[in-house]
Amino acid sequence: METSNNKSEKCKWRKIKKLFNNFTGHDIRDISSFDDFTNFMWTEVDAASLGICRMLFGIMMLMDIPEERGGSDLDLRWGETKDCRFPLFPFIKPLSLAKMGLIYCLMWLGALGITLGYKFKSSCLVFVITYWYLFLLDKSSWNNHSYLYGLVAFLFLFTNAHHFCSFDAWCNKLESKVPFWNYFLLKFQFFILYFIAGLKKFSVEWLAGHSMTNLNHHWIFTPFRLLLGPELTNLFVVHWFATIFDTSIAFFLIYKRTRIIGTLFALSFHLINSRIFNIGMFPFVCIVELPLFYENNWPRNVWRKSKCSLTSDDSKNDKVMSIKRTLSFSKKKERSNKTRCTLKEKFTTLLILIYCCLQFFLPYSHFITKGYNNWRHIYGYSWDMMMNEWSTMLVSVRVVDHGNNKQHFMEPLAFTDSYRWTQYPDMTYQYATCINHNLVADFHENPNSMLSSDNFSIYFDIWCSLNGRFQQRIYNPTIDLLKSDWNPFRTPSFTLPLIKEYSYFRKDIMDISKDVYSWNNFTDVLFIADFPGMTLDNYVLPVMDNVTLTVLEGILKYEQENDTTASFLTKGQSIGVKSGVFHKVTTISDAPSCYLYTYINATRQLLNSGSTYSINHETQPITNFLILQEVKTRYENYKKFFYHIANSILFEFYGVPMPRRLREFHEM
pLDDT band at 604 (very low <50, low <70, confident <90, very high): low
Interatomic CA distance for residues 559 and 341, integer angstroms: 79
Interatomic CA distance for residues 285 and 265, integer angstroms: 15
Entry pTM: 0.89
| Top-confidence range, 3-7, 157-161, 597-601, 617-621 | 157-161
| Active-site annotation, residues | 201
Higher-confidence residue of 508 and 319: namely 508
pLDDT at position 614: 40
Domain boundaries, the chain: 30-361, 389-498, 505-607
pLDDT band at 609 (very low <50, low <70, confident <90, very high): low
Q: Are 198 and 180 in contact (CB under 8 A)?
A: no
Percentage, residues of the chain above pLDDT 90 = 64
pLDDT digits (tens, 9 = 90+) for 234-253: 999 999 999 999 999 999 99
pLDDT at position 498: 94
pLDDT at position 327: 46
Could you give the angle at which helices 181-200 and 242-254 cross, rounded to 10 degrees?
A: 160
Mean pLDDT, residues 18-38: 85
pLDDT digits (tens, 9 = 90+) for 345-362: 999 999 999 999 999 999
- The answer on pLDDT for 213 being more than 50 is yes
Read off the DSSP letter of residue 233.
I
Interatomic CA distance for residues 610 and 606, integer angstroms: 9
- The answer on pLDDT for 122 being more than 90 is yes
Q: Are 594 and 465 in contact (CB under 8 A)?
A: no
pLDDT at position 475: 95
pLDDT band at 383 (very low <50, low <70, confident <90, very high): confident
Interatomic CA distance for residues 3 and 479, integer angstroms: 75
Of the chain, the end-to-end C-alpha distance in Å amounts to 90
Range list of β-strands (E), 368-453: 390-401, 406-410
pLDDT at position 382: 86
Kindly give, in sequence order, each residue whose CB lies less than 8 Å from that of residue 385, ignoring residues fewer than 6 positions away. 144, 197, 200, 246
pLDDT digits (tens, 9 = 90+) for 441-498: 999 988 888 888 889 999 999 999 999 999 999 999 999 999 998 999 999 999 999 9
- What three-state secondary structure class fits 34? helix
Q: Are 284 and 226 in contact (CB under 8 A)?
A: no
- What three-state secondary structure class fits 234? helix
Neighbours of 54 (CB within 10 A): 29
For CA atoms 255, 259, 261, 265, the dihedral sign is positive
Residue 474: HSE in the Cβ half-sphere, 13 Å Cα cutoff = 26
pLDDT at position 4: 64
pLDDT band at 664 (very low <50, low <70, confident <90, very high): low
Lowest mean pLDDT among 219-233, 366-380, 552-566, 627-641: 366-380
Range list of β-strands (E), 522-629: 523-530, 535-539, 544-553, 556-560, 566-569, 574-577, 582-587, 593-601
pLDDT at position 23: 81
pLDDT at position 219: 87
Beta strands 523-530 and 582-587 are unpaired
Interatomic CA distance for residues 431 and 436, integer angstroms: 9
pLDDT at position 615: 38
- What three-state secondary structure class fits 117? coil
Q: How many residues does this entry show for the chain?
A: 668
Residue 531: HSE in the Cβ half-sphere, 13 Å Cα cutoff = 15
Mean pLDDT, residues 83-110: 95
Lowest mean pLDDT among 3-7, 44-48, 131-135: 3-7
Q: Across the strands, what pairs with 107? A: none
pLDDT digits (tens, 9 = 90+) for 4-16: 666 677 777 777 7
Answer CATH for 505-607 from 1.10.1370.40, 2.40.37.20, 2.60.120.10, 3.40.50.720: 2.60.120.10
pLDDT at position 5: 67
> CA dist 595 to 222, 259, 592, Å?
34, 52, 10
Read off the DSSP letter of residue 237.
I
pLDDT band at 625 (very low <50, low <70, confident <90, very high): low
pLDDT at position 333: 46
Using alpha carbons, select from 438, 383, 426, 190 the residue that is nearest to residue 294: 190
pLDDT at position 472: 95
Lowest mean pLDDT among 16-20, 36-40, 360-364, 523-527: 16-20
Q: Are 98 and 648 in contact (CB under 8 A)?
A: yes
What's the gap between Cα 604 and its chain centre? Answer: 36
Higher-confidence residue of 66 and 387: namely 66
Percentage, residues of the chain above pLDDT 70 = 89
